[in-house]
Amino acid sequence: MIDKSRLTEPNEPSDHKPSDTDLIRLTHVTRTYGRVIGVNDLDVTLPQGAYALVGPNGAGKSTLIGLITGALRPTLGSVKVFGQDPVGNASVLSRIGLCPASDILLPGVSAVQWIRQLLSLSGWPPKAAAARTFEVLEAVGLLEAIHRPINTYSLGMRQRCKLAQAIAHDPQLLILDEPFNGLDPVGRHEMTTMLVDWAKSGKSLLLASHVLHEVEQITDAFLLIYGGRLLASGTAGELRSMLADLPQDLAITCSDIDLLASRLATAPWLKSMQLDREKHRLRVSVGQPLELYQALATMSVEEGIEITELAGADGDLSSLFQLLVSRHRGSRTIRRT
Protein backbone atom coordinates (compact mmCIF):
# COMPACT_ATOMS: atom_id res chain seq x y z
CA MET A 1 0.00 0.00 0.00
CA ILE A 2 2.63 2.50 1.03
CA ASP A 3 6.22 2.35 -0.06
CA LYS A 4 7.70 2.90 3.37
CA SER A 5 11.21 2.78 2.04
CA ARG A 6 10.63 6.14 0.42
CA LEU A 7 9.63 7.83 3.62
CA THR A 8 12.39 10.20 4.57
CA GLU A 9 13.47 11.01 8.05
CA PRO A 10 13.03 14.54 9.35
CA ASN A 11 16.06 16.72 8.80
CA GLU A 12 17.98 13.80 7.40
CA PRO A 13 19.43 13.55 3.91
CA SER A 14 17.56 10.98 1.88
CA ASP A 15 18.28 8.97 -1.23
CA HIS A 16 14.78 9.72 -2.41
CA LYS A 17 14.96 12.34 -5.12
CA PRO A 18 12.16 14.91 -5.28
CA SER A 19 9.75 14.28 -8.10
CA ASP A 20 6.48 15.64 -9.37
CA THR A 21 4.76 12.49 -8.22
CA ASP A 22 5.54 13.22 -4.58
CA LEU A 23 2.46 13.88 -2.56
CA ILE A 24 3.99 16.48 -0.28
CA ARG A 25 7.45 17.97 -0.16
CA LEU A 26 8.40 20.33 2.65
CA THR A 27 11.80 21.95 2.28
CA HIS A 28 13.01 23.52 5.52
CA VAL A 29 9.59 24.99 6.16
CA THR A 30 9.17 27.43 9.01
CA ARG A 31 6.00 29.33 9.75
CA THR A 32 5.82 31.98 12.43
CA TYR A 33 2.98 34.09 13.84
CA GLY A 34 4.79 37.16 15.02
CA ARG A 35 7.06 35.82 17.75
CA VAL A 36 5.26 32.49 17.99
CA ILE A 37 6.66 29.63 15.95
CA GLY A 38 3.94 27.52 14.35
CA VAL A 39 6.21 25.00 12.68
CA ASN A 40 9.98 25.01 12.65
CA ASP A 41 12.30 23.78 9.90
CA LEU A 42 10.19 20.91 8.62
CA ASP A 43 12.03 18.99 5.93
CA VAL A 44 10.30 15.88 4.72
CA THR A 45 9.09 14.27 1.51
CA LEU A 46 6.01 12.08 1.47
CA PRO A 47 5.16 9.90 -1.49
CA GLN A 48 1.51 9.08 -2.13
CA GLY A 49 0.02 7.08 0.70
CA ALA A 50 -1.70 7.32 4.05
CA TYR A 51 -0.06 9.11 6.96
CA ALA A 52 -0.96 9.92 10.50
CA LEU A 53 0.23 13.26 11.81
CA VAL A 54 0.43 12.75 15.53
CA GLY A 55 1.09 15.31 18.19
CA PRO A 56 -0.49 16.93 21.21
CA ASN A 57 -2.70 20.01 20.97
CA GLY A 58 -0.66 23.03 19.95
CA ALA A 59 2.06 20.89 18.36
CA GLY A 60 1.70 22.60 14.98
CA LYS A 61 -0.56 20.08 13.22
CA SER A 62 -3.13 22.62 12.08
CA THR A 63 -0.43 25.04 10.94
CA LEU A 64 1.14 22.27 8.89
CA ILE A 65 -2.25 21.48 7.39
CA GLY A 66 -2.73 25.17 6.64
CA LEU A 67 0.59 25.18 4.78
CA ILE A 68 -0.23 22.04 2.82
CA THR A 69 -3.66 23.33 1.81
CA GLY A 70 -2.30 26.72 0.76
CA ALA A 71 -4.23 28.62 3.42
CA LEU A 72 -0.89 29.74 4.85
CA ARG A 73 2.42 30.62 3.26
CA PRO A 74 5.65 29.47 4.85
CA THR A 75 7.77 32.19 6.44
CA LEU A 76 10.83 30.26 5.29
CA GLY A 77 11.27 27.29 2.98
CA SER A 78 8.93 25.89 0.39
CA VAL A 79 5.87 23.66 0.27
CA LYS A 80 5.01 21.53 -2.73
CA VAL A 81 1.89 19.43 -3.03
CA PHE A 82 1.57 17.22 -6.12
CA GLY A 83 4.79 18.94 -7.21
CA GLN A 84 3.32 22.46 -7.09
CA ASP A 85 2.96 25.39 -4.72
CA PRO A 86 -0.54 24.99 -3.25
CA VAL A 87 -1.19 28.69 -2.48
CA GLY A 88 -4.01 29.87 -4.74
CA ASN A 89 -3.27 26.98 -7.10
CA ALA A 90 -6.61 25.76 -8.43
CA SER A 91 -5.21 22.56 -9.92
CA VAL A 92 -3.70 21.54 -6.57
CA LEU A 93 -6.62 22.65 -4.43
CA SER A 94 -9.12 20.76 -6.59
CA ARG A 95 -7.23 17.58 -5.65
CA ILE A 96 -7.30 18.23 -1.91
CA GLY A 97 -10.22 17.60 0.43
CA LEU A 98 -9.94 19.15 3.87
CA CYS A 99 -11.92 18.34 6.97
CA PRO A 100 -10.66 20.92 9.50
CA ALA A 101 -10.82 20.63 13.26
CA SER A 102 -12.81 23.82 13.75
CA ASP A 103 -16.55 23.57 14.13
CA ILE A 104 -19.03 24.99 11.62
CA LEU A 105 -20.86 28.05 12.97
CA LEU A 106 -23.21 28.87 10.13
CA PRO A 107 -26.61 29.80 11.50
CA GLY A 108 -29.60 28.89 9.37
CA VAL A 109 -27.71 27.04 6.65
CA SER A 110 -28.57 23.42 5.92
CA ALA A 111 -26.06 20.73 5.02
CA VAL A 112 -27.39 20.48 1.49
CA GLN A 113 -27.09 24.25 0.92
CA TRP A 114 -23.60 24.38 2.37
CA ILE A 115 -22.11 21.41 0.52
CA ARG A 116 -23.71 22.50 -2.74
CA GLN A 117 -22.08 25.91 -2.32
CA LEU A 118 -18.69 24.38 -1.55
CA LEU A 119 -18.94 22.20 -4.64
CA SER A 120 -19.70 25.31 -6.67
CA LEU A 121 -16.53 26.86 -5.22
CA SER A 122 -14.70 23.87 -6.68
CA GLY A 123 -16.21 24.77 -10.05
CA TRP A 124 -19.06 22.26 -10.12
CA PRO A 125 -22.14 23.30 -12.13
CA PRO A 126 -25.42 23.47 -10.15
CA LYS A 127 -27.05 20.23 -11.36
CA ALA A 128 -23.99 18.07 -10.86
CA ALA A 129 -23.34 19.73 -7.48
CA ALA A 130 -26.91 19.02 -6.34
CA ALA A 131 -26.71 15.36 -7.33
CA ARG A 132 -23.31 14.90 -5.73
CA THR A 133 -24.44 16.60 -2.52
CA PHE A 134 -27.19 14.04 -2.03
CA GLU A 135 -24.73 11.21 -2.75
CA VAL A 136 -22.21 12.29 -0.14
CA LEU A 137 -24.80 13.15 2.50
CA GLU A 138 -26.37 9.75 2.02
CA ALA A 139 -22.94 8.17 2.28
CA VAL A 140 -22.23 9.81 5.65
CA GLY A 141 -25.69 8.98 6.95
CA LEU A 142 -27.14 12.47 7.02
CA LEU A 143 -29.81 12.07 4.36
CA GLU A 144 -32.67 12.42 6.84
CA ALA A 145 -31.34 15.70 8.21
CA ILE A 146 -30.09 17.40 5.07
CA HIS A 147 -32.59 20.25 5.20
CA ARG A 148 -32.06 20.99 8.89
CA PRO A 149 -29.77 23.92 9.75
CA ILE A 150 -26.29 22.67 10.56
CA ASN A 151 -26.30 24.56 13.86
CA THR A 152 -29.06 22.24 15.09
CA TYR A 153 -26.91 19.14 14.44
CA SER A 154 -25.14 17.21 17.15
CA LEU A 155 -21.35 17.40 17.22
CA GLY A 156 -21.10 13.98 15.61
CA MET A 157 -23.47 14.99 12.80
CA ARG A 158 -21.43 18.13 12.17
CA GLN A 159 -18.28 16.01 11.96
CA ARG A 160 -19.95 13.81 9.34
CA CYS A 161 -21.14 16.89 7.50
CA LYS A 162 -17.56 18.19 7.43
CA LEU A 163 -16.35 14.86 6.14
CA ALA A 164 -19.02 14.90 3.42
CA GLN A 165 -17.84 18.27 2.10
CA ALA A 166 -14.23 17.08 2.18
CA ILE A 167 -14.86 14.08 -0.07
CA ALA A 168 -17.61 15.63 -2.19
CA HIS A 169 -15.38 16.89 -4.99
CA ASP A 170 -13.56 13.55 -5.21
CA PRO A 171 -10.11 14.67 -4.05
CA GLN A 172 -6.91 12.66 -4.40
CA LEU A 173 -5.63 13.73 -1.00
CA LEU A 174 -7.94 13.75 1.97
CA ILE A 175 -6.74 15.74 4.98
CA LEU A 176 -8.54 15.36 8.27
CA ASP A 177 -7.77 17.32 11.41
CA GLU A 178 -8.99 15.52 14.54
CA PRO A 179 -11.82 13.73 12.72
CA PHE A 180 -12.83 11.60 15.70
CA ASN A 181 -13.75 14.57 17.89
CA GLY A 182 -17.34 14.30 19.01
CA LEU A 183 -18.02 10.93 17.43
CA ASP A 184 -19.69 8.19 19.44
CA PRO A 185 -18.22 4.65 19.36
CA VAL A 186 -20.34 3.67 16.37
CA GLY A 187 -19.37 6.84 14.56
CA ARG A 188 -15.70 6.24 15.35
CA HIS A 189 -15.92 2.73 13.99
CA GLU A 190 -17.62 3.94 10.80
CA MET A 191 -15.08 6.71 10.38
CA THR A 192 -12.21 4.29 10.89
CA THR A 193 -13.65 1.82 8.38
CA MET A 194 -14.18 4.59 5.85
CA LEU A 195 -10.64 5.89 6.24
CA VAL A 196 -9.14 2.40 5.99
CA ASP A 197 -11.09 1.89 2.77
CA TRP A 198 -9.96 5.30 1.54
CA ALA A 199 -6.32 4.39 2.11
CA LYS A 200 -6.81 0.99 0.46
CA SER A 201 -8.38 2.61 -2.60
CA GLY A 202 -5.00 4.11 -3.48
CA LYS A 203 -5.92 7.67 -2.61
CA SER A 204 -3.76 9.59 -0.21
CA LEU A 205 -4.63 10.45 3.33
CA LEU A 206 -3.18 12.75 5.97
CA LEU A 207 -4.81 12.27 9.31
CA ALA A 208 -3.97 14.60 12.20
CA SER A 209 -4.77 13.38 15.67
CA HIS A 210 -3.55 13.41 19.22
CA VAL A 211 -5.06 9.99 19.93
CA LEU A 212 -2.57 7.35 18.90
CA HIS A 213 -4.60 4.18 19.08
CA GLU A 214 -7.26 5.60 16.77
CA VAL A 215 -4.87 6.34 13.95
CA GLU A 216 -2.90 3.12 14.42
CA GLN A 217 -5.89 1.24 13.03
CA ILE A 218 -5.87 3.30 9.83
CA THR A 219 -2.22 3.59 8.86
CA ASP A 220 1.15 2.56 10.13
CA ALA A 221 3.01 5.51 8.64
CA PHE A 222 3.47 8.17 11.28
CA LEU A 223 4.76 11.70 11.47
CA LEU A 224 5.31 12.73 15.04
CA ILE A 225 5.18 16.47 15.59
CA TYR A 226 5.75 18.46 18.73
CA GLY A 227 6.58 22.09 19.38
CA GLY A 228 6.39 22.79 15.66
CA ARG A 229 9.11 20.27 14.87
CA LEU A 230 8.88 16.91 13.23
CA LEU A 231 10.31 14.60 15.88
CA ALA A 232 10.29 11.42 13.86
CA SER A 233 8.66 9.67 10.96
CA GLY A 234 8.30 6.10 9.81
CA THR A 235 6.18 3.05 10.37
CA ALA A 236 5.10 2.07 13.85
CA GLY A 237 7.70 -0.69 13.76
CA GLU A 238 10.45 1.64 12.65
CA LEU A 239 9.56 4.13 15.30
CA ARG A 240 9.58 1.44 17.93
CA SER A 241 12.99 0.29 16.72
CA MET A 242 14.29 3.73 17.64
CA LEU A 243 13.59 2.82 21.21
CA ALA A 244 16.32 0.21 21.08
CA ASP A 245 18.93 2.94 21.34
CA LEU A 246 17.11 5.20 23.70
CA PRO A 247 16.41 5.10 27.40
CA GLN A 248 12.94 3.78 27.96
CA ASP A 249 10.50 2.14 30.31
CA LEU A 250 9.57 -1.48 29.69
CA ALA A 251 7.21 -4.00 31.26
CA ILE A 252 8.38 -7.63 31.43
CA THR A 253 6.11 -10.53 32.28
CA CYS A 254 7.84 -13.84 33.01
CA SER A 255 7.64 -17.17 34.81
CA ASP A 256 9.97 -16.26 37.72
CA ILE A 257 9.72 -12.57 38.36
CA ASP A 258 11.77 -12.61 41.61
CA LEU A 259 14.71 -14.34 39.96
CA LEU A 260 14.63 -11.94 37.05
CA ALA A 261 14.54 -8.96 39.40
CA SER A 262 17.52 -10.24 41.40
CA ARG A 263 19.57 -10.83 38.25
CA LEU A 264 18.79 -7.42 36.79
CA ALA A 265 19.32 -5.51 40.05
CA THR A 266 23.09 -5.33 39.60
CA ALA A 267 23.06 -4.30 35.97
CA PRO A 268 24.84 -0.92 35.53
CA TRP A 269 22.42 0.27 32.85
CA LEU A 270 19.33 -0.24 35.06
CA LYS A 271 17.90 3.03 36.34
CA SER A 272 14.92 1.80 38.36
CA MET A 273 12.80 -1.27 38.88
CA GLN A 274 9.26 -1.91 40.13
CA LEU A 275 7.99 -5.37 41.02
CA ASP A 276 4.35 -6.41 40.62
CA ARG A 277 4.14 -9.97 42.02
CA GLU A 278 0.39 -10.32 41.48
CA LYS A 279 0.73 -9.81 37.74
CA HIS A 280 4.18 -11.42 37.52
CA ARG A 281 5.34 -8.20 35.96
CA LEU A 282 8.51 -6.24 36.32
CA ARG A 283 8.65 -2.60 35.21
CA VAL A 284 12.15 -1.44 34.45
CA SER A 285 13.65 1.84 33.37
CA VAL A 286 16.82 1.31 31.39
CA GLY A 287 19.41 3.55 29.80
CA GLN A 288 20.52 1.04 27.15
CA PRO A 289 17.65 -1.22 26.09
CA LEU A 290 19.86 -3.33 23.83
CA GLU A 291 21.84 -4.44 26.88
CA LEU A 292 18.58 -5.46 28.55
CA TYR A 293 17.45 -7.46 25.51
CA GLN A 294 20.77 -9.28 25.47
CA ALA A 295 20.58 -10.01 29.20
CA LEU A 296 17.02 -11.31 28.90
CA ALA A 297 18.06 -13.67 26.10
CA THR A 298 20.96 -14.96 28.15
CA MET A 299 18.84 -15.43 31.28
CA SER A 300 16.14 -17.16 29.31
CA VAL A 301 18.64 -19.73 28.08
CA GLU A 302 20.87 -20.07 31.15
CA GLU A 303 18.36 -19.60 33.99
CA GLY A 304 15.31 -21.05 32.25
CA ILE A 305 13.26 -17.89 32.81
CA GLU A 306 10.34 -17.89 30.42
CA ILE A 307 9.67 -14.38 29.13
CA THR A 308 6.00 -14.21 28.12
CA GLU A 309 5.70 -10.51 27.36
CA LEU A 310 7.96 -7.56 26.74
CA ALA A 311 6.26 -4.27 25.99
CA GLY A 312 6.45 -0.56 26.36
CA ALA A 313 5.26 0.55 29.77
CA ASP A 314 1.75 1.32 28.54
CA GLY A 315 1.81 -1.04 25.63
CA ASP A 316 1.26 1.36 22.72
CA LEU A 317 2.86 4.18 20.83
CA SER A 318 2.17 6.74 23.51
CA SER A 319 5.31 5.64 25.37
CA LEU A 320 7.33 6.22 22.25
CA PHE A 321 5.74 9.59 21.76
CA GLN A 322 6.35 10.66 25.33
CA LEU A 323 9.91 9.51 25.04
CA LEU A 324 10.46 11.46 21.84
CA VAL A 325 8.91 14.53 23.37
CA SER A 326 11.08 14.29 26.47
CA ARG A 327 14.14 13.77 24.32
CA HIS A 328 13.14 16.69 22.13
CA ARG A 329 12.92 18.99 25.10
CA GLY A 330 16.47 18.18 26.06
CA SER A 331 18.17 17.08 22.93
CA ARG A 332 18.18 17.07 19.18
CA THR A 333 15.86 15.39 16.73
CA ILE A 334 15.53 11.64 16.87
CA ARG A 335 16.93 9.84 13.86
CA ARG A 336 16.56 6.28 12.85
CA THR A 337 19.85 4.45 12.63
Partner 1 sequence: MSSLIHQASPKVPLNWRWGILGVVKLEIQRSLTTARILAWLAMATFPVMIASITAWQMSEMQMSLSAEESSFTFSMMLYVLLPQVVTPLGLLLWATPVVSSELEGQTWIYAVTRANGRRAVLLGKYIVAILWSSSTAIVSAAVAVPITGMPNPLQSWIVISCLVVLSAFAYAALFVLIGTLFQRRAMITAFIYMIGVEAFMSLIPATINQLTVSYRLRSILVHAMDLKVSLANQRQQWFIDETPVWQSVGYLGLYTLILLGISLWRVQASQYSWQSEL
Question: What residues line the site for partner 1 (CB under 8 A)?
Answer: 33, 36, 38, 58, 60, 62-63, 66, 69-73, 88, 90-91, 93-94, 96, 98, 100-109, 113-114, 116-126, 128-129, 131-132, 135-136, 139-141, 165, 167, 170, 177, 190-191, 193-194, 197-198, 201, 203
Answer for the pair 165, 179: CB distance below 8 angstroms, yes or no: no
Tell the smallest beta-carbon distance from residue 215 to partner 1 (Å): 18
Tell the smallest beta-carbon distance from residue 28 to partner 1 (Å): 19
Query: With respect to partner 1, which residue has the nearer C-beta, 118 or 273?
Result: 118
Tell the smallest beta-carbon distance from residue 200 to partner 1 (Å): 9
Residue 176 CB: number of other CB atoms within 10 A? 27
Secondary structure (3-state) at 263: helix
Query: With respect to partner 1, which residue has the nearer C-beta, 121 or 290?
Result: 121
Query: With respect to partner 1, which residue has the nearer C-beta, 197 or 303?
Result: 197
Tell the smallest beta-carbon distance from residue 186 to partner 1 (Å): 11
- Write phi, then psi, for 39 (nearest 5 degrees): -135, 150
Distance CA 258, CA 265 (A): 10
Query: With respect to partner 1, which residue has the nearer C-beta, 18 or 126?
Result: 126
DSSP 272-337: EEEEETTTTEEEEEES-HHHHHHHHHHHHHHT---EEEEEETTSSHHHHHHHHHHHHHHS------
Distance CA 30, CA 72 (A): 11
- Write phi, then psi, for 312 (nearest 5 degrees): -60, 160
Amino acid 3 reads D
Tell the smallest beta-carbon distance from residue 11 to partner 1 (Å): 22
Query: With respect to partner 1, which residue has the nearer C-beta, 157 or 252?
Result: 157
Query: With respect to partner 1, which residue has the nearer C-beta, 60 or 289?
Result: 60
Residue 70 CB: number of other CB atoms within 10 A? 18
